[in-house]
Structure 1
Amino acid sequence: MNFENMNIWCWIIPLLVGLLCALFGYLLGKGKSETVVDHSAELKQCRETNAKLQADLAACTKKLSEKPVSIPQPTPSSTSNITSSFGATAEVEAAPVPIPFDAAAAKAVFGKNIKQDDLKVIEGIGPKIEGLFKGADIATWKALSETSVASCKEVLATGGERYRIHDPSSWHMQAKMCYEGKWAELAKWQDEHDHGRL
């Protein structure tokens, strides 16, 4: 009698262990398949965000690449011609006033001392690339903000093959923010664009 009871338990215990293992395996497998669905949704959202940011960058780049038409400064004799031809004196734009550099405002945003026209503030530019640009007479934020992407690539090409991998498409925009003293906007842009990388 004792032997028969023991024989039944020899069958029941492995059967229960097998059922429990099957149940846990099913639950683990189901949990893993749901995780893949969650990651694909996140990936889709990241791709949509990336596409939007690419479009924003393209719009900003296009806007910055459009150069405003400058009105030539009239000489005193041409001013009188303008007056006599049209019967009224034409208003002439004054020469642009340079924007003063505010080191304290830059330090307040970046938490470190920023020197005027330090090209290394721009994400993607290090000491070697700054040297290449200074060698090409692009030594200020204003000069870099007025330099086309194609010209930036030409400057990078002078440094050799290892500098061709850099993407200067946002450098003129970042340089313009530096020149105009828009430090908070620059820091926000660099954070939103993974520190300059798109």
Structure 2
Amino acid sequence: MDYENINVWYWLIPIVVGVICGIIGYSMGKGNVDAIDNSAELQALHDKNSKLQSDLDVCNKKLIAKPSGSGNVSSSLAAAPTTKAMLTAFDAAAAKTAFGKTIIQDDLKVVEGIGPKIAEMFHGAGITTWKALSETSVASCQDIVNSGGDRYKVHESASWPMQAKMCYEGKWKELFRWQDEHRHGKL
């Protein structure tokens, strides 16, 4: 019996299998690098979206700031909701009915995602009322949160101005429904 030829196969088969596994592993690992590149692209798109949102907010403020006597129908229509909102007084009873707890006027913590520390950051930035928060751009909100360090950068502030506007306008049932539908910010 020729034992020398058998010993070659014991070595050759594991080497060939190892090379094939190495090639497959390299190919699969190379695919994961593309996923990391996509996250950078996603971040760039998120930044672009924040800038566009802030530009939109600036345009909306300019539209509302136009005098209604200019004859522009869209500016007078845009001014109407603002006037109505300014006439809305805080109704603690309606807020308590909707939320089942006492709500304090201009308490930023009513906005889903804002806790005591983030509320302090907004107060430090001069944003102390629902009205002020509702007029703040999403990008500015995120900048304030990011200024608190890495711990706070995970908070998503995209809906905070909208929620604050609902508070300011006394739309308590709508706010409660929105927060409930969005699982209190945990989609």
Give the shorter-chain TM-score range: 0.5 to 0.7
- Is 1:131 the equivalent of 2:120? yes
Distance 2:186 2:88 in 1: 28
Per the alignment, in what secondary structure is the counterpart of residue 119 of structure 2? helix
Residue pairs, 1:14-163, within 5 angstroms:
65=57, 67=60, 69=63, 70-72=65-67, 96=83, 97-163=86-152
Distance 2:156 2:113 in 1: 8
Distance 2:68 2:163 in 1: 30
Residue 135 of structure 1: CA displacement?
Answer: 0.4
Aligned to 2:25: none
Aligned to 1:196: 185
- Kindly provide the CA deviation profile for residues 50-95 of structure 1, in whole angstroms up to 9, marking residues without a partner as x: xxxxxxxxxxx89x84615122488xxxxxxx9xxxxxxxx9x799
Aligned to 1:167: 156
- Kindly provide the CA deviation profile for residues 91-145 of structure 1, in whole angstroms up to 9, marking residues without a partner as x: 9x79933421000000001111100000101110000000000000011111111
Tell me the number of residue pairs that the alignment of Structure 1 and Structure 2 aligns: 122
Largest Rg, 1 or 2? 1
Per the alignment, in what secondary structure is the counterpart of residue 93 of structure 2? helix
5+ long unaligned stretches in structure 1: 1-60, 75-81, 83-90
Residue 159 of structure 1: CA displacement?
Answer: 1.1
In structure 2, give the amino acid aligned to 1:189.
Answer: W
With over 3 angstroms needed to count, the CA separation of the structure-2 counterparts of 1:98 and 1:138, relative to structure 1, is farther
With over 3 angstroms needed to count, the CA separation of the structure-2 counterparts of 1:197 and 1:67, relative to structure 1, is farther
In structure 1, give the amino acid aligned to 2:98.
Answer: V
In structure 2, give the amino acid aligned to 1:140.
Answer: T
Runs of 4+ displaced beyond 6 Å: none
Aligned to 1:183: 172
Normalising to structure 1: TM-score of the pair? 0.55
5+ long unaligned stretches in structure 2: 1-52, 71-75
Q: Is the 8 A contact 1:107 1:114 kept in 2?
A: yes
Residue 158 of structure 1: CA displacement?
Answer: 1.7
Distance 1:162 1:98 in 2: 38
Distance 1:146 1:175 in 2: 9
In structure 2, give the amino acid aligned to 1:67.
Answer: N
Let me know the Cα RMSD of the aligned residues: 2.8
Per the alignment, in what secondary structure is the counterpart of residue 187 of structure 1? helix
Aligned to 1:6: none
Q: Is the 8 A contact 1:124 1:166 kept in 2?
A: yes
From the two aligned structures, give the one with the greater helix fraction: 2
